Each structure stands twice: as C-alpha cells, then as structure tokens.
Copies of this chain bind each other. A is one copy, B any other.
Amino acid sequence: MEKKDVIGIVGAGLIGRAWACVFARADHPVQLWDPEPSLRARMPELLRAMLEEAGNDPAAADRVTVCETLEEALRGAALVQESCPEILDIKRELFARMDQSAAPDTILASSSSALVASEFAAGLPGARRCLVAHPVNPPHVIPVVELCPSPETDAGILSRAEAIYAGAGQVPVLLNHEIPGFVLNRLQAVLLAEALRLVSEGVCSVQGLDDTIRHGLGRRWALMGPLETISLNAPEGLHDYMRRYGPMLGRLADDGAGAEAFSDRAADIVGAAFPHSGPDSVRARTAWRDRELAALDHHLHSRNAKD
C-alpha cells in the first residue's frame, strides 16, 4: 500500500478529534497535539470511542500519536488541521508559531468558520501555504469541507489540499475568494431566518417547520443538491424551471426574513420546543444524531449515491 501523508492535528476538542478520526481511518499517520495535558492524556480512549460510535474500526486510533509539543505534531506533516478557539488573536499567534516551525511545504489549514486566512495569516512569511478548511460539525460523519484560500494562498497548495481531503473520503468544495460565512453558513443563515420568522408569526409550530425539512426538502437534499433538484423539476430542464417558477420564487425570496428574525421571541419559541435540560441531554441527542449521520453515510455509500 502507498505510504500515506503524515497529518498534523492541532487542537483536540470535538472537531479536532473528528478530524483525527477522518485521517486515521483513511490510513494516515496522525500526530495530534492539544495545549491541555489532561485532554491529551485521555486521547486514545476518546478517539476509539468516537470511531466505534461511527461504525469504524477503533484500532484506527493506533495510528494517532499524541504529541507533547506543537512542534512534534508538525514534524514531517504534509498537512496540519488546526481546530482551536475562533478568537483572532489566538489564531494569529498560533499560525505565527506554526508558520515558524513547519517545513515550508506543509499546508496549514484552519477549521475556522468565521475567521478567514487573510485575517489570521496576514503578513506571515508562509501565508501562501495557509487556508481555511471549514468542516461541518462533525467531520467524521458529514463529509463536506469548504476550502477557502486567502488572496495569498498558492494555487498548487490549494490543489494538494483538495486531493488530501478527497483522498481521505471528504468532499472538498473550493471557494474562489473569501466571503463572510463561506457558502454553507450563508445558505443556512437565510433559511434559518425565514424559519424563525415563520414560527415567530405562528404560521406553523416549531415541530411542523422542522418536519417540512426533515420529511420534505431534507430528503431530496441528502441525495441531490438544490440546483440539480430544480434542474429536474420541469420537463425541459433548468431554463424551463426558471421560466415557470422563477418569478414566484423571486417574490418569496424578496419577502425573506433578515436579522430581525433572530429575536428573543424566536429564541423563546424554539427554546420551548426543545427544552433540553442542559449539557447532558444536548450530548445525548448529539450522540444520537452522530450515530444516525454515520448510518446515513454508510447507506448512501452502499447505494453508490455518491456518483
């Protein structure tokens, strides 16, 4: 078997650990570091549990070396996936350290969802090898990863990163330039705003709103994206669809809610529908969700739906 690239994991919270699992189960040697020693100490067992929950072989955790220092985690790595708190000063400092220690060709990728590389890698000698690789929570059961370069990111670096993520079973989506929220969170934000407005106005219940997606649009969209979906919803294809439905959909979009929908009233209405009694029940429901996401991923793979 071909020798797999060494992957560095910096930050071993939920997202970092999920990334470690992604690469370890794809046979990569993984070097993991977290600033917190008590978290490092729990590492083999946390990773094994995560792999098992996702229906993967827990022995893959054996490919993960827990490092005592940041520099050890970077040594010989082809790519480093950073998943630390999204605070600009912290990220800038961390990237400055990593840029100093890592070999010149090592790709430095951040799981950042809001900060962009032109912010946290600005002015670094190795800015060309820095980028955002934004996963969906959690990446070991949802494969998409948004790759967002800064204006300084080298095109070859971006291509190599794309190949590494794809080779490990993820689905990389390339952004051509930086934009707030990248793609996924922009789509989520506009849908959430309208969802919150509809329940705030009493058009339907919170459960009903969720059902229109879970038992409706979400079914389609787990198989086929929204643009391919509409390309099939008129007999003659996409232009036919836009002709028939574009004006009506445009009117609905113009009427879509904005920031005002994220109100205290909306929070109270939705909060009352999901009265999680605290972190324990959030964790339990989250564990259920991740098990189902893993099962869904296996189902889709088995159907060759990923064509």
Q: Which residues of A contact B (CB under 8 A)?
A: 114, 136-137, 141-144, 146, 171, 173-177, 179-181, 183-196, 198-199, 202-206, 208-228, 230-239, 242, 246-262, 266-267, 270-271, 273-274, 276, 278-279, 282, 285-286, 289, 292-293, 295-297, 299, 303, 305-306
Give the number of times this chain occurs in the complex, counting copies.
Answer: 2
Q: Is B238 touching A195 in the complex (CB atoms < 8 A)?
A: no
With A146-B212, A303-B292, A303-B295 as contacts: A217 and B187 at CB distance below 8 Å? yes
Distance between Cα atoms of A211 and B172 in the complex (Å): 8
Q: Is B190 touching A190 in the complex (CB atoms < 8 A)?
A: yes
User: Which of the residues B239, B273, B303 comes within 8 Å of A227, measured between beta carbons?
Assistant: B273
Contacts of A256 in B (CB 8 A): 186, 189-190, 193, 253, 256, 258
* Secondary structure class of chain A's binding surface, majority of residues: helix
Q: Is B237 touching A262 in the complex (CB atoms < 8 A)?
A: no
Contacts of A189 in B (CB 8 A): 249-250, 252-253, 256
Distance between Cα atoms of A181 and B255 in the complex (Å): 11
Determine how close the nearest CB of chain B comes to the CB of A206; give it in whole angstroms.
5
* In the complex, residue of chain B having the shortest beta-carbon distance to the beta carbon of A178: B203
Determine how close the nearest CB of chain B comes to the CB of A293; give it in whole angstroms.
6
- 8 extra A-B contacts, CB within 8 A, seeds A230-B270, A253-B261: A174-B205, A179-B203, A186-B198, A188-B217, A196-B227, A231-B270, A242-B262, A296-B299
With A203-B183, A214-B223 as contacts: A254 and B258 at CB distance below 8 Å? yes
Q: Is B231 touching A221 in the complex (CB atoms < 8 A)?
A: no
User: Which of the residues B173, B242, B266 comes within 8 Å of A204, measured between beta carbons?
Assistant: B173
Contacts of A242 in B (CB 8 A): 262, 266-267
By CB atoms of chain B within 10 A, which of A256, A260, A299 has the most? A256
Contacts of A299 in B (CB 8 A): 295-296, 299
With A221-B214, A251-B259, A259-B253 as contacts: A237 and B274 at CB distance below 8 Å? yes
User: Which of the residues B194, B198, B250, B296 comes within 8 Å of A262, measured between beta carbons?
Assistant: B250
Contacts of A219 in B (CB 8 A): 136, 141-142, 222, 293, 296-297
Q: Is A184 touching B216 in the complex (CB atoms < 8 A)?
A: yes
Q: Is A210 touching B227 in the complex (CB atoms < 8 A)?
A: yes
Q: Is A213 touching B233 in the complex (CB atoms < 8 A)?
A: no
Contacts of A305 in B (CB 8 A): 292
User: Which of the residues B184, B205, B236, B238 comes within 8 Å of A279, measured between beta carbons?
Assistant: B236
Distance between Cα atoms of A6 and B203 in the complex (Å): 31
Distance between Cα atoms of A178 and B199 in the complex (Å): 14
